[in-house]
Chain A
């Protein structure tokens, strides 16, 4: 049973470009969470989604950030007009029925 998959693993964007991060949950998991980790810090919650629904986006910046989990395909975290402060590791986690969360390997975003 494959774990949570994220791609790309590394992403470099210039300021002002868009970044799209993809997450495929574990088989049978219908709950997806996105977290952001700055160097030497803990993970910060961004958004919690179920298929076609955003359940809790209280940790996501109001501007430039959006997330979706369509009926078919992976969950997408989209960052528009990236700035240097967006450089971080972005982790996706999935969960069966809202229980324990299993994390993917992360996408390391660098904004130049």
Chain B
């Protein structure tokens, strides 16, 4: 089955700098790759996603890139702000009809003022 590896597990950056989180996946049939932000005590919030027919997608300060050949995708956050501090999860679609999501282990991002 699908396996998703996420790095780093923790990341600390200065406010205003950029943050990059990387994920690799194993199942070449995966075709949907969302990113979620989870704050303490809350449910995961979908922040951006990308499908396998697209190489890059951007939404304001957030961008995601996908390399299907290498089976890896990355989240880029520019001009980081304190409210970006949270745990970020990548995921890849898998299973029957590619409906279920397989999640990475998470990255705890801390933005230092």
Residues of A within 8 A of B (CB): 4, 6, 31, 33, 35, 40-45, 48, 55-56, 58-59, 91, 98, 100-106
State the interface size on chain B (CB cutoff 8 A): 21
Stretch at the interface among B12-20, B52-60, B68-76, B93-101: B93-101
81-106 of chain B: CB within 8 A of chain A: 89, 95-97, 99-106
13 new A-B contacts, CB < 8 A, other than A55-B97, A56-B95, are A4-B43, A31-B99, A42-B89, A43-B89, A43-B103, A44-B103, A91-B44, A98-B97, A98-B99, A100-B34, A100-B46, A103-B36, A105-B43
Tell me, in angstroms, the Cα distance from A31 to B101 when the chains sit together: 13
Q: How far is the CB of B23 from chain A (nearest CB, A)?
A: 11
Residues of B within 8 A of A (CB): 6, 34, 36, 42-46, 49, 89, 95-97, 99-106
Q: Is B102 in contact with A101, judged by CB distance below 8 angstroms? A: no
The listed residue (A56, A91, A104) touching B100 by CB distance below 8 A is A56
Tell me, in angstroms, the Cα distance from A48 to B97 when the chains sit together: 11
Residues of chain B lying within 8 A (CB to CB) of residue A101? 34, 46, 101
